[in-house]
């Protein structure tokens, strides 16, 4: 089952090293224009060994510095924040002056951590980063960026839990938005995976499928959203991207939908380069 949504991009990941540290080492009194760049690896936001995140802080940061929060994919039952170390490096180069956080969360197993454990963990991680923004000398202007299952979690957090924090923007790389429709309109492997993740069927517990579908929480107050999807995606059909685009339009929320005609559930090469360009422009536009 763990193959679903796992490491969808066809990108060779160059795993970077980060300085190990802890949030207690952040100099709370140092709010000035000469702070050096610093990274914090495996910062705890909960008691579980999986409830950790990495923080990357730029030099010259201040209370206006925005933070991009990255959430990995892997079908909710696999994957790791380290899978996207190279994405952090790519976006640091494209978005100098931005802070980044890369989040792990508890994964579904054969015996537990069923959904909404992952939703709850992302909520806790966002609360942690929000509460410690001043200690990191950054603002609470957060942008959520997720890939596949991570995009689902980013959207669920951004649309459903915006009472915790209203993000400046959301970036979805081929994330599912309507789990009910995905359950009904997919081949047998997808419903089987969702049954496993939810520890329920749509018939036995329709509420968890509704409550876990980001599209059901889109409102006129939702954050601007960038949607990137492959036309030939066989795991999360492109229909899901069009549904979200239409719902955001209906609510008057700014959004941009980018479809890659020849791509499936993830891509590399020139289309990946274009995706990075799209994300860069979208995030820069949020500051205007």
Residues 127-180 have pLDDT tens digits of 999 999 999 999 999 999 999 999 999 999 999 999 999 999 999 999 999 999
Q: Which of 129, 110, 187, 121 is nearest to 149 (CA)?
A: 121
Return the bridge partners of 67, or none.
99, 142
pLDDT at residue 240 in the model:
98
Please, how many CA atoms are within 13 Å of residue 257, restricted to the half-sphere of its CB? 18
Q: Is the pLDDT of residue 238 over 60?
A: yes
3-class DSSP assignment, residue 168: coil
CATH 3.30.980.20 fits 49-286, yes or no: no
Domains of the chain, by residue range, sit at 49-286
The answer to whether 120 touches 153, Cβ cutoff 8 Å, is no
Average model confidence (pLDDT) across the chain: 90
pLDDT tens profile 7-41: 343 333 322 333 334 443 344 434 455 799 999 99
pTM: 0.90
Residue with tokens 């008691």: 47
Return the bridge partners of 53, or none.
43, 103
Residue with tokens 């980018």: 258
- Selected residue with higher pLDDT from 34 and 195: 195
Cα–Cα distance for residue pair 249/179, rounded to 1 Å = 20
The answer to whether 9 touches 266, Cβ cutoff 8 Å, is yes
Q: Which of 115, 120, 122, 117 is nearest to 194 (CA)?
A: 115
Cα–Cα distance for residue pair 196/190, rounded to 1 Å = 10
Residue with tokens 């990075």: 276
Give me the helix-helix angle, 85-94 and 269-286, nearest 10°.
60
In the predicted model, what is the mean pLDDT of residues 202-215? 98
């Amino acid at each position: 089952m763990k193959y679903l949504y796992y490491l969808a991009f066809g990108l060779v990941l160059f795993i970077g090293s980060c300085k190990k540290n802890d949030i207690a080492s952040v100099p709370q009194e140092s709010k000035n224009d000469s702070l050096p760049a610093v990274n914090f690896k495996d910062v705890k936001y909960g008691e579980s060994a999986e409830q950790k995140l990495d923080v990357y802080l730029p030099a010259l940061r201040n209370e206006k510095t925005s933070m991009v929060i990255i959430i990995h994919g892997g079908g909710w039952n696999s994957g790791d924040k380290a899978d996207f170390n190279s994405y952090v490096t790519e976006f640091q180069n494209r978005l100098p002056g931005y802070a980044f956080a890369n989040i792990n969360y508890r994964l579904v197993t054969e015996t537990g951590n069923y959904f909404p454990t992952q939703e709850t963990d992302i909520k806790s991680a966002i609360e942690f980063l929000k509460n410690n923004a001043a200690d990191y000398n950054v603002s609470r202007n957060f942008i959520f960026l997720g890939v596949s299952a991570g995009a689902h979690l980013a959207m669920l957090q951004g649309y459903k839990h915006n009472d915790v924090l209203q993000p400046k923007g959301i970036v979805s790389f081929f994330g599912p938005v309507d789990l009910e429709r995905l359950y009904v309109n997919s081949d047998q492997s997808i419903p089987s995976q969702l049954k496993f993740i939810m520890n329920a069927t749509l018939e036995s517990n329709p509420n968890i499928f509704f409550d876990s579908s980001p599209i059901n929480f889109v409102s006129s107050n939702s954050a601007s959203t960038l949607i990137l999807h492959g036309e030939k995606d066989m795991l999360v059909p492109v229909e899901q991207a069009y549904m979200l685009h239409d719902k955001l339009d209906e609510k008057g929320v700014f959004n941009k939908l980018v479809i890659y005609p020849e791509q499936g559930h993830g891509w590399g090469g020139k289309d990946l380069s274009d995706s990075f360009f799209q994300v860069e422009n979208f995030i820069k536009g949020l500051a205007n």
